[in-house]
Structure 1
Amino acid sequence: MARVLVPLAEGFEELEAVTIVDLLRRAGVEVITAGLKPGPVKASRGTVIVPDTTLDEALGQDYDMVVLPGGMPGAKHLNEDPRVKDLLRRMADSGKFTGAICAAPMVLAEAGLLSGRKATSYPGFVDRMGLKDVTYVNEPVVQDGKVITSRGPGTAMDFALTLIEALAGAAKRQEVEAALLRCAP
């Protein structure tokens, strides 16, 4: 079974985080949520989530993917945490998946993971960072190798389904998506 780490920072976008966790778990993926510090984490709209563990405790385990939810100031807090950037670099160096949505692709960019790649983000983040070696794509979800990015709360379901496909294959994605009743029968 694939294992995914979802770090949660104060001010994360709850729709993105919960959608990612929920859909991955529906696909049979083991998802671990980790707060940057001990205790509950307050999201951007005031929802309070109790993470499974702390980031310090989670760093001692192996994962197939690390996914960053966006939201502000959550993405800013992730970007300011050297443990997050170090983890992302180690994941990339090991040939494992990294993903980020909304404002969080800026963390991937700051960690050097978007260099030479196509990516997307919430408007005003990656597209305005002046990164000459990143091709910004105005699409809901962009996968370039083992890096998957997405635009925002409205694309969270498509993003999570893409994560499922990357980890468990197209058939598992179709199975999960069919049960969501996203399309007319």
Structure 2
Amino acid sequence: MRVLVPLAQGCEELEAVTIIDLLRRAEIEVVTAGLTEGPVKASRDTVLLPDTTLEAVADQDFDMVVLPGGLPGAQYLEDDPRVLDILRRHAERGAYTAAICAAPKVLASAGLLDDKRATCYPGCVKPEDFPRLNLIDAAVAIDGRVITGRGPGAAMDFALALIESLAGRERRESVESALIRSH
């Protein structure tokens, strides 16, 4: 299983790192790809070093494409035609697409949230701009092969939902139990 995580300047590092870390704990191959070459400075000035560039992996196939949120990171993802093309191509071939926080707007702009239930950071997606989207108030929303998360506080639940979708409930439970989360 391979997952692509595009990283844009100004992404939300809590979301990006949580997604990458938990998927790797689940022994899922994660490829982080910067929109440009070099380090990515996240929204709280944490510097992330992508594995590669988006250009280098744009034509490759992945089982899932996951977009971290944060601003202006999510806006840079939405403004990049390569990201929209990758999302559409993967959705067409039945791969998962996922986004958290402000990034579900990128999925909506790509047309992937039409007639879907989704969640996002409050105010990031305006229902009047996407009338076919069923926006719900939940930490994580799963509708078919589209997974969305509400925001930084939901990052761990979101990442665990990604694991379960890709590798099954047992793998999710194995990763989650080692995290020693209290409920």
Distance 1:124 1:149 in 2: 15
Distance 1:29 1:67 in 2: 13
State the aligned residue count: 183
The within-5 A match list for 1:91-130 is 91-130=90-129
Q: Which residue of 2 aligns with 1:166?
A: 165
Provide TM-score, normalisation by structure 2. Answer: 0.98
Whether 1:77 and 2:76 are equivalent positions in the alignment is yes
Return the offset for 1:95: 0.6
Q: Which residue of 1 aligns with 2:146?
A: 147
Unaligned runs of 5+ in 2: none
Return the offset for 1:183: 2.5
Counterpart amino acid of residue 88 in structure 1: L
Distance 1:170 1:129 in 2: 36
Distance 1:129 1:25 in 2: 38
Alignment root-mean-square deviation, CA: 0.9
Distance 2:83 2:129 in 1: 22
Q: What is the CA deviation profile of residues 27-49 of structure 1, one whole-angstrom value per residue up to 9, with x for unaligned ones?
A: 00000000001000100000011
Distance 2:16 2:169 in 1: 22
Q: What is the CA deviation profile of residues 7-52 of structure 1, one whole-angstrom value per residue up to 9, with x for unaligned ones?
A: 0000000000000000000000000000001000100000011100
Q: What is the CA deviation profile of residues 45-103 of structure 1, one whole-angstrom value per residue up to 9, with x for unaligned ones?
A: 00011100000001132200000000000000000000000000001100110000000
Provide TM-score, normalisation by structure 1. Answer: 0.97
Return the offset for 1:129: 4.9
Range with bigger deviation, 44-53 or 57-66:
57-66
Unaligned runs of 5+ in 1: none
Amino-acid identity (%) = 62
Whether 1:54 and 2:53 are equivalent positions in the alignment is yes
Distance 2:166 2:54 in 1: 22
